[in-house]
Amino acid sequence: MTQTNSFALDRHYEDERLTAIYDFDSGWSPDRQFYLDLATSPGTEILDLGCGTGLLANEYAAKKNKVTGIDPSEAMLAVAREKFYGDEIEWVQAFAQDFDLGKTFDLIVMTGHAFQVLLTDDDVTATFKSLQKHLKPNGLIVFESRNPSIDWQKNWNYDIEIELPTGGTVKEARRFIAMEDNKMSFELRYQFKDELLTSNSVLRFWTLTEIQNHLAEAKLQVEKILGDWNGNPFANTTSEEMIFFLRHQS
């Protein structure tokens, strides 16, 4: 998912040359498998908020679920529509804070640390309000955010090489810039054969207490919090993830 409507969308979510290679960079991963396994019965009505290029939404549809994918980036959605089950999925271009679909869902997911692009309290308040409004009475919301107790700066930088199916490679680098008020700024660099493209991003590392307070305000109840994609309980000082399972307040 890309930046909120408080900011311009990051270039790597808007530039068609970068969205075209997004899946080769991101790919299938343990977190996506975790979310896919939440859909246990065919026909489940699922909302994938911040669906990006539709990797997860496509797999939900493959399991014969009724899937809606929302993302603010039309360039990402253009890639999503070309997925194998793309014609069976409802794709909506919208921001997390103010979408209104006029229907409710059994399962709502917000994956890929999309929650962390919400940089202000107003953004989170509006997003949780939207989620609550679209959740069926017995429905489930699941999303994750990185645990701010972990030293993310230490291992943030990386250099990888992306193999393209058409031949050739793209060299990708991620570089930490600064951390201020729990907001991390960083740069992504993509070296194509003929061009260097850069994209700057900001993520907020929300504390557990901050998230819990916003959830209470939105009348969403925490069912459980996991700390990793293996399903282990959240441990405040050691878990890298805070994976929230939410229901309507009873």
DSSP 32-101: HHHHHTT--STT-EEEEET-TT-HHHHHHHHTT-EEEEEES-HHHHHHHTTSTTGGGSEEEE--TTT---
Considering the domain boundaries, does residue 6 fall inside one?
Answer: no
Task: Give me the chain's average pLDDT, please.
Answer: 95
What does the pLDDT average to over 78-101? 98
If asked whether residues 157 and 234 sit together in one domain, one would say: no
Considering the domain boundaries, does residue 184 fall inside one?
Answer: yes
The CATH number of the domain where 222 resides is what? 3.40.50.150
What does the pLDDT average to over 117-146? 98
Asked whether the predicted pLDDT for residue 2 surpasses 70, the reply is no
Considering the domain boundaries, does residue 3 fall inside one?
Answer: no
- pLDDT (0 to 100) of residue 179: 97
CB 60 within 8 A of CB 78: no
Q: What percent of the chain has pLDDT over 70?
A: 97
175 or 13, greater pLDDT: 175
If asked whether residues 243 and 165 sit together in one domain, one would say: no
* 60's tokens: 């939900």
If asked whether residues 46 and 162 sit together in one domain, one would say: no
Helical (H) or strand (E) element with 124: helix 121-133
Reference 115, options 241, 247, 249, 250; nearest CA is 241
If asked whether residues 52 and 73 sit together in one domain, one would say: yes
* Full residue range of the structural domain in which residue 81 is found: 11-147+204-248
Please tell me the total count of domains within the chain.
Answer: 2
* 198's tokens: 């850069």
Other beta carbons within 10 Å of 25: 14
15 or 87, greater pLDDT: 87
If asked whether residues 141 and 38 sit together in one domain, one would say: yes
166 or 147, greater pLDDT: 147
Q: What are phi and psi of 16, to 5 degrees?
A: -60, -30
pLDDT classification of 8: cutoffs 50, 70, 90: low
If asked whether residues 220 and 109 sit together in one domain, one would say: yes
Give the pLDDT confidence of 197-208 residue by residue, as tens digits.
999 999 999 999
Angle of helix 121-133 versus helix 208-217 axis, rounded to 10:
50
Considering the domain boundaries, does residue 72 fall inside one?
Answer: yes
Considering the domain boundaries, does residue 22 fall inside one?
Answer: yes
Considering the domain boundaries, does residue 106 fall inside one?
Answer: yes
DSSP 8-state class, residue 8:
P
CB-based contacts of 206, cutoff 8 Å, min separation 6:
115, 116, 124, 145, 148, 182
If asked whether residues 177 and 74 sit together in one domain, one would say: no
Considering the domain boundaries, does residue 79 fall inside one?
Answer: yes
If asked whether residues 124 and 194 sit together in one domain, one would say: no
Query: Which neighbouring-strand residues pair with 172?
Result: 160, 190
If asked whether residues 103 and 29 sit together in one domain, one would say: yes
- pLDDT (0 to 100) of residue 1: 47
Asked whether the predicted pLDDT for residue 5 surpasses 60, the reply is no
Domain boundary among 183, 203, 223: 203
What does the pLDDT average to over 110-138? 98
